[in-house]
Amino acid sequence: MASTVDCKVVLLGGPSVGKTCLLERYIHGRFETSSQATIAGSFASKRESLANNAVILGCWDTAGSERYASISRMYYRNARAAVVCFDLTDRSSYETARNWVSELRSAEEECKLYFCGTKLDVVQKKPELREMDKETALELALDLQSDYFETSSKTGENVDALFKKIATDFARWQDETAVKGIQNKESIRLHQSSWKKDARVRKEESSCCLK
């Protein structure tokens, strides 16, 4: 029987980079052209069925505005994955990506990163509007030890692939953690067994000396 695990995901990035639209497309499969700015944080979840288990992605859409920064930081705690978004048509949103990563790392050092360039449909239709080339973004993703996706919330391109990758990576991490836990327990058991054996030998040797 397949097991089910929960993975907390946070969406980070400046205002108007498309975090809310990205989550709306993933959760509901639709595109809202007039979405309002996120004030603090909103939550939605979706189940991803994998080969041997299932992962429920609990996604937090955080506010990108600086005035809500302190509130947004509250959502970083215990996050296992973070989607750092920037707008492919806005270089400044890309240049602040490292700031979001640094802020996240200060709260959750082991959180897995996913770098996401949004509004892919816009630059596909009008290439001259692209301000960030894919090669440069890939270099940053590599430097941050992150995966990189270019997505379109309007057409849905690469959106499901992004979140499926998050679920797959988390399930793999869970399996590896479980294996390490078993190995650590076995190591502790062997260590304790060896210690008891050594203690018994020392006691026997001590008894012999007293005879």
Domain count, the chain: 1
CA separation for the pair 201, 157 (Å, rounded): 67
Residue 192 has what pLDDT?
A: 52
| Inside any domain, residue 199 | no
Task: Establish if 206 belongs to a structural domain.
Answer: no
**Tens-digit pLDDT profile for residues 182-202:** 555 545 454 455 555 555 555
Positions in the chain whose pLDDT score sits under 50? 1, 39, 186, 188, 190-191
Q: In this structure, is residue 159 part of a structural domain?
A: yes
- Position 4 scores a pLDDT of 84
pTM of the model: 0.81
Q: Which of 64, 56, 59 is nearest to 23 (CA)?
A: 59
pLDDT computed for residue 172 by the predictor: 93
Indicate which CATH number applies to the domain containing 157: 3.40.50.300
The reported pLDDT for the residue numbered 27 is 95
Query: Torsion angle of alpha carbons 101, 103, 108, 113, nearest 10°?
Result: -10
Q: Is the residue at 191 inside a domain?
A: no
Task: Give me the domain span that covers residue 55.
Answer: 3-175
